[in-house]
Structure 1
């Protein structure tokens, strides 16, 4: 059983919040990607219930005056942008997640946070049904990997990763859920937490020593490319705009996600009893 640490300083929640919700959805977005945001607004992000708050997180530090004015007008129209004052770049994704968690922790009274990308499709109705049945303490829920070798070359290279030759088990960044206490933990300890290049790898390392509930769920199709389409998917990544609209249309007219189900890449059930290097074998095509 988890010890209750709410009396410890680094778990205490701020008593003053600007608004409350059950689920806060953080969509990492580039300030210039208005089209991608509009597609989400027209599909899975449209007409969300009052207990869900969605914000597109954009960095505005390196925008020119015209671009800042454009973003401000967009926010005045939609009221759904979270504008952070840092320079947007691929190498700043971890900082972006840190600053998002700090803003949420300081301003929102929430139960859960869902972090996704702007090319992620979310079944908010199904996700909420699942969350209503879960404890709102120490939850780290997504599609986990524990056998990934630390990259030393290319775009994803982690030059400062010295912990071991593999990444610590982490939920892939196309979409994962955290309970509010873990958001607070990252926020309140942000100055002590070593940032790595990949935000999802960083989060796995930050939460690695903690006694928390890591839930691997194949219904999170959140790898670097989609595994296909299954009606059981809750969150699916790398979805182009046209397919987002198709998925949304299917849900409205057919009541399910896929025109037809298919799989282009096997999934896996994470075996927590094995060493991380042997956690994740793609041997069962019935796993979504």
Structure 2
């Protein structure tokens, strides 16, 4: 009897042990997240809805932009002419565009999260407008009226032809000028008056006046780097073009030949086109093209990095966007062509050296035209432009210029 009672006690003890273990296990679950209810996906989305809304700056339309670029490329190449290399170039171009817009979106997002207004240059990237093929900015000074008139009388279309060039060919041409009295030219239709950064815009028929709140761009050789930076940022903010060109007002240009030259590179991301050079760094004060920051380029006798000569060069849309976004931190050297080249040194940019952009004047450009190799630009190296251009550019145009019908028959 006593034996049965002992066995029954062991059974009860085992049962209590099991119950205690089970109770401890259940209690442990209550104090962990294993028994917590997992929020549904829709609750998470609802909680983050406000945050996601602030982050959606330029994401919309990306897919359609890629499709538009692909369709445009196929129109140029033709379905039968499309190759794997062409497709890769087209894809690289699309990726480059998206990367630039994503970078701008990230900067805009940071501004919003900090409670700051979105910078104007970032709004430009988000809100794109009609697509132009190229913008040509003719660098000039406010006391160079005769040079501007000589350009208007030769290679630059005027009146309805200039308007037709923009509407049908997507080519915008403006003189780029700094601060000065230009009221005597207020009836013309080809002026871009720059006063530093474009916060206020006043239109003439051919003049575009840009002003900052606190400072004006003053003309002068030592200010050319600032003017060049401002020109590209300004042109990018006003015209959504594939290429942006800078040319001096004492250089002859064949517009159709320039367009055909640039069109061959339109599927490449980040291109920098010009006559590339690497001249000596001049460290002695008083000489022409003296470089005050010569010590940055090493010892005496060193040369600059490869960059396009300043008479005429072109950059793609992505590089103009880069200048626009980073214009406040881009360093300016005394020589504007060196400055532009330095801005692209650390970037994945393709430098294209094309000697058609720097032909000599007569008889060089005439011989080439007769041989069917028409020059894009002609000037005299000894004068860094056409010597006595006001008097000589008309002859250069007559003997080296393309036929007037060439531009209207061209398909870019």
Give the TM-score normalised by the residue count of structure 2: 0.54
Structure number having the greater helix percentage: 2
Identify the structure with bigger relative contact order (alpha carbons < 8 Å, sequence gap 6+): 1
Who is 1:247 aligned against? 396
Who is 2:255 aligned against? 124
Structure number having the greater strand percentage: 1
Who is 1:142 aligned against? 274
Deviation readout 1:180-225 (Å, 9 max, x if unpaired): 11111112111111100111011111111111111101111179x9
- In structure 2, distance between residues paired with 1:218 and 1:14: 33
* Paired residues for 1:166-185 under 5 Å: 166-185=303-322
CA RMSD of aligned residues (A): 3.0
Would the aligned equivalents of 2:289 and 2:335 in 1 still touch at CA under 8 Å?
yes
Would the aligned equivalents of 1:123 and 1:234 in 2 still touch at CA under 8 Å?
yes
Who is 2:183 aligned against? 69
Who is 1:114 aligned against? 245
Q: 1:236 aligns with which of 378, 390, 393?
A: 378
1:38 alignment partner, SS class: helix
**Any stretches of 5+ residues in structure 2 without a counterpart?**
1-87, 108-120, 192-203, 211-215, 380-384, 407-412
- In structure 1, distance between residues paired with 2:237 and 2:404: 41
Instruction: Give the deviation of 1:142 after TM superposition.
Output: 0.7
- In structure 2, distance between residues paired with 1:247 and 1:255: 18
Q: 1:8 aligns with which of 103, 111, 118?
A: 103
Would the aligned equivalents of 1:25 and 1:114 in 2 still touch at CA under 8 Å?
yes
Would the aligned equivalents of 2:307 and 2:337 in 1 still touch at CA under 8 Å?
yes
Matched, 1:79 2:174: no
**Any stretches of 5+ residues in structure 1 without a counterpart?**
257-288
Instruction: Give the deviation of 1:72 after TM superposition.
Output: 3.5
Instruction: Give the deviation of 1:18 after TM superposition.
Output: 6.5
- In structure 2, distance between residues paired with 1:95 and 1:59: 10
Deviation readout 1:75-133 (Å, 9 max, x if unpaired): 59983334443111111101111111111121111110110000011111111122222
Give the TM-score normalised by the residue count of structure 1: 0.76
Who is 2:291 aligned against? 158
2:396 alignment partner, SS class: helix
Q: Which has the larger radius of gyration?
A: 2
Instruction: Give the deviation of 1:69 after TM superposition.
Output: 2.6
Deviation readout 1:2-40 (Å, 9 max, x if unpaired): 663332238976233576421100111011211111111
1:130 alignment partner, SS class: helix
- In structure 2, distance between residues paired with 1:156 and 1:82: 30
Who is 1:220 aligned against? 357
- In structure 2, distance between residues paired with 1:173 and 1:33: 18
Would the aligned equivalents of 2:175 and 2:190 in 1 still touch at CA under 8 Å?
no
Matched residue count: 249
Who is 1:277 aligned against? none
Between 119-128 and 3-12, the greater mean CA deviation after superposition: 3-12
Deviation readout 1:135-155 (Å, 9 max, x if unpaired): 253111110013x22112323
Distance 1:184 1:76, change over 3 A: closer
Who is 1:22 aligned against? 133
- In structure 1, distance between residues paired with 2:138 and 2:175: 5
Who is 2:226 aligned against? 95
Would the aligned equivalents of 1:160 and 1:196 in 2 still touch at CA under 8 Å?
yes
